[in-house]
Every structure is written in structure tokens, then in C-alpha cells.
Amino acid sequence: MADKNEPIPVARPTLGEEEAAAARRAILSGWVVQGPEVAAFEKEFAALIGAPGAVACSSGTAALHLALLALDLKPNDEVITVSSSFIATANAVRYVGATPVFVDVELETGNMDANLIEAAITPRTRAILTVHQLGLPCDLGRILAIAQRHKLPLVEDAACAIGSEIRLAGGDWEPIGRPRGLLATFSFHPRKVITTGDGGMVTGGDPEIMARLARLRTHAMSLSTAERHGSAKVRFEQYLEVGYNYRLSDIQGAVGREQLKRLPGLVAARRRLAARYRETLAGNPHLTLPREPDFARSNWQSFWIILQDDAPLSQVELMQTLLARGIQTRRGVMCAHREPAYRDLPLRRPLPVSEIIEDRSVILPLYPELTEGDQDRVIATLTEILR
């Protein structure tokens, strides 16, 4: 029986003896920086989702930055994206000197509203950066069609979406990250479905772009560490452009390989728990619940609720009351445009749905080890408070 006094975290990574043994293997190998374990992790990741290629890096933010560097954006270029995302999405656009142009999102999915994209396109638009929000796939079919019609590259911020699936018109289910656009990016932060402590991945199909990204993550060196190490001759590298220190360690790569083996079970557990939340909270008159469109299967990296206008508590009051009863939550998706760092960026148009999601959404505990007893405690406590 669940302990009524034991705190329930909002998230918890699934790590075990297999990951510990993999880290030990890498440590004892003598090669702990980016090397053979990372190379194997990239190969196995790409194979798992059916991507032609994958480049590992130090974080999901680094992955986004690398992906946008591949577009060779210039100052005053514009990238259509969403404000309703972790701030790294908008920040990565600014890292390359471009301007994020925000469009609003759908209430029940949190994803970019495809109906609003074409009105945001200007002569300076150079790309679309869409997000699969909290693991729930966006309307990729429609967004891709718009990008193709306007000859714009499409980058998918799939930070939360490893294990999620999408079905495009007339097709079969396929994993998010098998790029339909130019590139897709992932995060391995501890709150994501799989983790390497921190880390990221870029997937794509253009071998020249992927080779360039592999160089850029290591200061744009012309020779990799493995090439220099394995050479029978003394060779000196060159630095072909300004690059970055975005390497993933081999210790992390080894852990990532074990996490990939767990992925099907992790996603299945998350889907089961999300279904229980949906079934038990569906009738609550004070809540709007997330919705999977017919074309999407979420990995349920997070499960969120949105408080309706007539809810008896505000977002902060609800979260504080739950915390006092030992249940951790998090605010739902933030809005970049409301942060001090973005006050100098004028909005082209209002973002009312994005602001509702920031002000009224709450992320509930969800992780594979969450017991049904603890989940029942979350549901019962939430229902009682909302009465």
C-alpha cells in the first residue's frame, strides 16, 4: 500500500545496474571523452528510429544550436517557432543571430497551430522550427506541407519526443526523429524519457550536413580524435570554421546505449499511467486534459492539466496545496516572450493560448516507477482540492 506521507516527485529517471556497469566499462577502458561508446550510441539511436544519421552532443540545447547552424542563418533572418516551449527553443534561434517569430499553439496539444503559420511568413523568413511539446507530436504533416510550399527548411525540436510516433497521410506509424524535415533534435536531460545525465542528439539525412555538425561539436576540427588516435602517421588537424565544445563523453554514451534498450518498456509504462490519468480525471469539470490527435501517439514525457476559468484555485494555489501534501508538480510550459530576456523582442501578434497554458497548466507526477497506489493518491488529492 502506498505510504500517504512519502513525497511523490514529479519525475524520476530510470537508471539501474545496467547503466552503472556500462559507465564502469567506459571508465575502465581508458577512453572517457567522446569516442567508441558515443559512436555506437549514435549508430544504435539512428537505427532505432530509422534515421539515416545521428550526431550526439552535450545537451538538447546544443543539439538545437547545431541544427540551426546548419541553416547558415544571418542577422535579421526570421525563424517561425513557438514561445510556448522551454526557453532553449527561442534561445537557439538567437544564438545564430536570427529573430524568432512566435505563433500561437493549440490548447489541448500545446503544439504550434498550423493555421497561423502562413500569416507569419515574411520575405525574411528562412526556416520553421516546430516543437513536439512534452512528447506529443505536432501536426507535422500540415506543417511540413507549408514548409515545402514556401521552400523553407523545417527543424523539429523533439527534445521530449523519443519514443513518440506519428502517422502521416496514407502512411504507417513511424517514430518521431526520422526526419521528415531537414533535422530533428533530442534531449537526454534527466526529466526526459531516456537520460545520459544530460546530452542531446541531432538526426538527419544529408550526409554533408551531418558531417559538418559532427565537426562543429568539436571546435570544427578537420580530424576527429578517433582518426588521429588510429593513424599510423603524425597528422595535424585544422579548424575549418568557428566551432564549439559540444561533445558527449563516452561514459554518457555507454549509459545512453543501455537506456535505448529500456525505451520500449519506458514508453509503455508512461502510456499506461497517462491513460489512468485520462480515465479518472476526464469528468472533472474544472480541468482541460491533453488530447492525442488521430495522427499522434505520445510517449507522455509529461502529463499536464489545464485549470478552467471556474477552478476554485489558481495554478500557484493548487501547486502549493499539493506540495504541502507531499506531491510535487511543475508549472506547465513557459512562454519565452514573457521573460525579461525577450522584452526587447516585439510580438507580431498576440499569443493568448500560449499564455493560458503558462498561467493555468500543471504537470502531474509521471514516471515508470510511479506506483498505481501513488498515482491514486495524486488523483484523489487533486480531486479533493478541486472540490
pLDDT of residue 25: 97
> Helix (H, G, I), strand (E, B), or coil: what is residue 354?
helix
CA 106 to each of CA 82, 176, 313, 349, 372: distance values in angstroms, whole numbers, following the listed order: 11, 19, 23, 15, 30
| Backbone CA torsion sign across 377, 382, 385, 387 | negative
CB atoms near residue 228 (< 10 Å)? 13
In the sheet that 173-175 helps form, which strands lie side by side, from edge to edge?
173-175, 165-167, 296-297
Backbone angles phi, psi at 161, to 5 degrees: -105, 15
Residue with cell string 510550399? 149
**pLDDT 10s digits, 147-185:** 999 999 999 999 999 999 999 987 899 999 998 899 999
How far is residue 270's CA from residue 382's CA, in Å, rounded to a whole number? 20
Of 4, 192, 233, 261, the catalytic one is 192
Residue with cell string 488521430? 294
43 belongs to the catalytic site? no
Residues 6 or more apart whose CB falls under 8 angstroms from that of 316 comprise none
Dmax (CA) for the chain in angstroms is 75
**pLDDT 10s digits, 209-251:** 999 999 999 999 987 777 777 777 888 888 889 999 999 999 9
How far is residue 200's CA from residue 120's CA, in Å, rounded to a whole number? 29
Identify whether the C-beta of residue 98 lies closer than 8 Å to the C-beta of residue 92. no
Helices 250-281, 372-386: axis angle to 10 degrees equals 50
The stretches in the chain having pLDDT less than 50 are: 1
pLDDT of residue 202: 98
Q: Which residues pair with 239 in a beta bridge?
A: 221
DSSP-H helix ranges across the chain:
17-29, 36-49, 60-69, 88-95, 117-120, 140-149, 207-216, 225-230, 250-281, 315-324, 352-360, 372-386
Domains and CATH numbers, the chain: 17-259 (3.40.640.10), 261-386 (3.90.1150.10)
pLDDT of residue 1: 43
For the purposes of burial, counting CB atoms within 10 Å of the CB of 384, is it exposed (0-12), middle (13-18) or buried (19 or more)?
exposed
Q: What is the pTM of this model?
A: 0.95
